[in-house]
Chains A and B, each alone.
Chain A
Amino acid sequence: MTDPAPQPTPQDDDDTLASEYVLGVLSADEMASCAGRRTVDPAFDRLVTQWEARLIPAAALVPPVPPPPGLLSRIESALGRDLDRAPAPLRALRHQLLLWRAVSATLAVACASILFLLARPSPQPTAAVLLPPGTGGFLVQPVGASVRFDPVHPPPVPPGRDLELWSLPAGAAAPRSLGVLPATGTTLPSTALPAGAAQLLVSLEPAGGSPTGAPTGPVLLATQLPAPP
């Protein structure tokens, strides 16, 4: 008598799902669902990371195309730095995608470079951000008279907690709350931020924000806003 074939475990199913997510064959909804699940399910996140390590080298098969005219100078003005130190080369998917593939130099502690992902014929480049591994946060950028906070692999928020955003102007004694920062990001009027040099902080608070008007939980994120020129 032979033993029956072993039944797939939930772990096997998750591993299959993780492989399909990294391969990119799932529907748009399923891709979004997996992306969200990674941030709250460390075991699933580990499976996905393992499949990324296996498959991502195949991105080298993407054939190169020259960048469209004007792209490099647009990036240069956005970065405000010498492009000779920027990552190269440019790779492309054959059908109307442009993909920057980073050849990372050193891993600095703070933000390094801004890379662009373009999907032609879109007129709007989408910014991607180079970060050290295992990190994430929010991309903060002015949009008109507002300031956008967009999640970039943000820290997971446990149930019953919220992220709260604070500003701490240079020389101020205590931070001022800018409200709860949803994990999906937010938009604030530019006037909500301090006029001069200040720190922006994000702390982990009870749901609804700190009850005391000051941070009560750990500061998870921080950045320095310089004084405007």
Chain B
Amino acid sequence: MQDTFLLVWRRAERFDPARGEADVWLAALLRYRAIDAVRRRRREHLSAAPPDAPSEDPDALAQLTATAEGAALQACLGQLPPDRRALLLRAFIGGRSYAELATEDGEPLGTVKARIRRALAALKICLSS
């Protein structure tokens, strides 16, 4: 057997050929594996310097408007206070855990959790309207 093959299971009741769903599912799958890989790397290279924060300038956020979903997310991210938006992006783009965010900011874990949860709740309300 020379090549790689895939056994595919079709869950018919959820199958939807909409391209948007496939992109989200795949991007999410790759993100979880990326986060897992990053966490393992960080455990192995404890002295590694933290990377730069992702760009928060308006031009960078403008990249989101390529899709309708991205435009909605951009608008709702824009409504968050800048420090909350930055915190969410450090988590999402930077692959940070609660513990890492708390350590980097010198804040208690509970404080960081509360901030993130409030920001996520605000995003959810904004996106549903």
Size bracket of the A interface: 35 or more
Most buried by A among B23, B88, B99: B23
Q: Roughly how many angstroms separate A61 CA and B31 CA in the complex, as a whole number?
A: 13
* Residues in chain B near residue A104, CB distance under 8 A: 19, 22-23, 26
Chain B: residues with Cβ within 8 Å of the partner, total of: 74
Of the candidates A63, A96, A135, A193, the one whose C-beta lies within 8 Å of that of B15 is: A135
CA distance A138 to B32 in the complex (A): 17
Contact A95-B1, Cβ < 8 Å, known A31-B32, A128-B29, A221-B9: no
A100 at interface by CB-CB < 8 Å: yes
A146 and B108 CA atoms in complex are apart in Å by: 49
Residue A228, interface by CB 8 Å: yes
Chain A window 15-29, contacts with chain B (Cβ cutoff 8 Å), 1 for yes, 0 for no: 010011011111110
**Per-position binary interface string of chain B over residues 72-112, scored 1 when its CB falls under 8 Å from any chain A CB and 0 otherwise:** 11000100000000001101111111110100000000000
Given contacts A104-B23, A130-B26, contact A93 B8 (CB under 8 A): no
Contact of A58 with B by CB under 8 A:
yes
Q: Which residues of B contact A35 (CB under 8 A)?
A: 32
Closest-CB distance, A21 to chain B (whole angstroms): 9
**Bound CA–CA A95/B38 (angstroms):** 9
User: Closest chain B residue to A48 by CB distance?
Assistant: B28
Contacts of B66 in A (CB 8 A): 60
Known: A23-B120, A130-B26. A135 touches B91 (CB 8 A): no
- Which residues of chain A have a CB within 8 Å of any CB of chain B? 16, 19-20, 22-28, 31, 35, 52-63, 78, 80, 93-97, 99-104, 107, 110-111, 114-115, 117, 119, 122, 126-142, 147, 149, 152-155, 190, 193, 200, 202, 220-225, 228-229
